[in-house]
Amino acid sequence: MSRARGLALITTSLTAVCLFRGTNGASAASFGRCVKLVVKETGKYGSSGCQEGRVAHGNYEWYPAFGAEKIKKTGFELKVSESPTVYEGSEAVEAFSCSSEGKGSGEFTSSTQVGNVELILKSCKDSPTSKCSNTGTEGEVKTEKLSGEIGVWKAEGEERHNKVGLELHAATGEEGTVIKTMTCTDSFTRKLTGSIIAMVPPDGPNKMGTTWSLKYMHRGVEQMPEKFEGLPKPTAFEETLNEAFSRPAAMEATIEQENEETMELNTTCTC
């Protein structure tokens, strides 16, 4: 095989991979950095967001978070800005809620994944007079260690407009447990299991920065979005009451994420 033909086949294969990834909800988005190059016209992108529409002589280049020019600081802090509320059952009644004083942390573990995510929620209750806790401190609820991955939950005509989210699920401890059993002063016990996807609002992706929001939304007891495009639904989000029976659950909340290092959540295929 001639060298020219071999290079042509490689180029064609890479293009096919990019086209495939662009339709795959799990792999079309990624964490990284869009950097303005010192040597002009040596990059693949012409704009500061490293979006689709590559150019032959661009001034910007995309570096995956865990690539050759990987990020040095992988941690992030979480802060609750809209009170978490969990709904349960066929009629989506309020199961319990917490205040907007919660906080947590986590870290990036790959260019598409996060890990060691943990939240401590405050002033949690399942009625006006009943506080809930699983730490021994009244009203305090702590999640298990969680991990997750980003993906596209709604693909648009142009990849830069794709809607992306972050799916979180249990990483360690009792299988599938998101929030271990909490005891409430009205004698109820509650536990949350499964997976849950947070939307990243449109003003968050495709630009360099240190912060973005994670917004949990629902319709009844269906979490919105339910899944990433091109992938099956994740394990159902459920609440177990009094260790006796489980029923569908959904959560609404807004959590602000602040990264240790400036980076970008890119919604396009940057392969």
pLDDT, tens digit, 9 for 90 and up, residues 191-243: 999 999 999 999 999 999 999 999 999 999 899 999 999 999 999 999 999 99
How many domains does the chain fold into? 1
Place of tokens 């806790």: 133
Range of the domain at 164: 75-266
User: Domain for residue 145, yes or no?
Assistant: yes
Q: Which of 221, 191, 205 is nearest to 267 (CA)?
A: 205
User: Domain for residue 129, yes or no?
Assistant: yes
User: Domain for residue 206, yes or no?
Assistant: yes
Q: What pTM does this model have?
A: 0.86
C-beta neighbour count of 244 within 10 angstroms: 7
Quick check: 23 pLDDT over 80? Answer: no
pLDDT band at 22; cut points 50, 70, 90? very low
User: Domain for residue 125, yes or no?
Assistant: yes
User: Domain for residue 111, yes or no?
Assistant: yes
User: Domain for residue 29, yes or no?
Assistant: no
User: Domain for residue 34, yes or no?
Assistant: no
User: Domain for residue 154, yes or no?
Assistant: yes
For residue range 256-265, what is the model confidence (pLDDT) as tens digits? 999 999 999 9
Q: 167 with 195: CB under 8 angstroms? A: yes
